[in-house]
A and B are shown apart, each in its own frame.
Chain A
Amino acid sequence: MTDADIRAAIRDELARLAPEIDFETLDPAVDIREQADLDSMDFLNLVTALHQRLSVDIPDADTPKLATIEGAVAYLARKGGAAPSA
Chain B
Amino acid sequence: MPSLGADMEAGTLVEWLVKPGAVVKRGDIVAVVETQKGAIEIEVFDAGVVERFLVEPGATVPVGTPLAAIRVEGEPEPAEAAPPRAVAQEPAEPPPAPSPAPTAAPEHVHASPAARRLAAERGLDLTGVKGTGPGGAIQLADIEAAAPPRSSGPPGAFDFSQMRAAIAAAMSRSKREIPHYYLSETVDVRAGADWVVRTNVERPPERRLLLAVLFIKATAIAARAYPEFNGFFADGKFQPSAAVHPGVAIALRGGGLAAPAIHNAADLDVESLMDRMRDLVGRVRAGRFRSSEIADPTITISSLGDRGVEALFGVIYPPQVAILGFGKVVERPWVVDGAIGPRPVVTLTLAADHRVSDGHRGGLFLAEIGRLLQHPEAL
B206 and A48: CB pair below 8 A? yes
A59 and B206: CB pair below 8 A? no
State the CA gap A37–B281 with chains docked (Å): 14
Please give me the residue from chain A that is nearest to B277 by CB atom: A41
Known contacts A20-B253, A39-B251, A40-B306, A51 near B278 by CB under 8 Å: no
Q: Mark B283-313, 1 if CB is under 8 A from A, else 0.
A: 0010000000000000000000111000000
Q: Is A9 an interface residue (CB 8 A)?
A: no
Q: Give the contacting residue for A44; candidates B201, B205, B253; CB below 8 A.
A: B205
Q: Is A17 an interface residue (CB 8 A)?
A: yes
A45 and B204: CB pair below 8 A? no
Q: Is A18 an interface residue (CB 8 A)?
A: yes
State the CA gap A29–B212 with chains docked (Å): 28
State the CA gap A48–B210 with chains docked (Å): 13
State the CA gap A7–B208 with chains docked (Å): 24
Q: Mark B109-130, 1 if CB is under 8 A from A, else 0.
A: 0000000000000000000000
A52 and B254: CB pair below 8 A? no
Contacts of B205 in A (CB 8 A): 44, 47-48, 51-52, 58, 60
Q: Is B200 an interface residue (CB 8 A)?
A: yes
Q: Looking at the assembled complex, report how far the CB atom of B246 sits from the nearest CB atom of chain A, in whole angstroms.
A: 16
Contacts of A82 in B (CB 8 A): none
A39 and B305: CB pair below 8 A? yes
Known contacts A34-B307, A52-B206, A20 near B254 by CB under 8 Å: yes
State the CA gap A4–B277 with chains docked (Å): 33
B278 and A45: CB pair below 8 A? yes
Contacts of B206 in A (CB 8 A): 48, 51-52
Contacts of B305 in A (CB 8 A): 39-41
State the CA gap A39–B203 with chains docked (Å): 20
State the CA gap A45–B280 with chains docked (Å): 12
In terms of DSSP, what is the predominant structure of the interface of chain B? helix
Q: Mark B180-212, 1 if CB is under 8 A from A, else 0.
A: 000000000000000001001101111010101
State the CA gap A31–B254 with chains docked (Å): 19
A60 and B200: CB pair below 8 A? yes
Q: Is B342 an interface residue (CB 8 A)?
A: no
Contacts of A19 in B (CB 8 A): 154, 253
A18 and B253: CB pair below 8 A? yes
State the CA gap A18–B253 with chains docked (Å): 7
Contacts of B306 in A (CB 8 A): 39-40
Q: Looking at the assembled complex, report how far the CB atom of A33 sits from the nearest CB atom of chain B, in whole angstroms.
A: 7
Q: Give the contacting residue for A86; candidates B204, B212, B281, B307; CB below 8 A.
A: B204
Please give me the residue from chain A that is nearest to B154 by CB atom: A19
Q: Looking at the assembled complex, report how far the CB atom of A15 sits from the nearest CB atom of chain B, in whole angstroms.
A: 9
Q: Give the contacting residue for A41; candidates B154, B203, B210, B254; CB below 8 A.
A: B210
Known contacts A18-B253, A41-B210, A60-B201, A33 near B307 by CB under 8 Å: yes
State the CA gap A39–B303 with chains docked (Å): 11
Contacts of B201 in A (CB 8 A): 59-61
Known contacts A48-B206, A60-B203, A41 near B281 by CB under 8 Å: yes
Q: Mark A18-41, 1 if CB is under 8 A from B, else 0.
A: 111000000000000110010111
State the CA gap A59–B199 with chains docked (Å): 12
Q: Looking at the assembled complex, report how far the CB atom of A55 sits from the nearest CB atom of chain B, in whole angstroms.
A: 11
Contacts of B278 in A (CB 8 A): 41, 44-45
State the CA gap A42–B282 with chains docked (Å): 9
State the CA gap A39–B302 with chains docked (Å): 13
Q: Looking at the assembled complex, report how far the CB atom of B60 sits from the nearest CB atom of chain A, in whole angstroms.
A: 28
State the CA gap A51–B208 with chains docked (Å): 13
Please give me the residue from chain B that is nearest to A15 by CB atom: B154
Known contacts A60-B197, A60-B201, A44 near B208 by CB under 8 Å: yes
State the CA gap A38–B172 with chains docked (Å): 29
Q: A37-B253, A45-B278 are in contact. List 15 more A-B contacts (CB 8 A).
A: A17-B285, A20-B253, A41-B212, A41-B305, A44-B205, A44-B208, A44-B210, A44-B278, A45-B282, A52-B205, A60-B200, A60-B201, A60-B205, A61-B197, A86-B204
Nearest 6 A/B pairs, CB to CB: A48-B205, A60-B200, A39-B305, A86-B204, A51-B205, A47-B205
Some 13 contacts from A to B, beta carbons below 8 A apart, are A18-B253, A20-B253, A39-B305, A41-B212, A41-B281, A44-B205, A44-B210, A45-B278, A48-B205, A48-B206, A48-B208, A52-B206, A58-B205
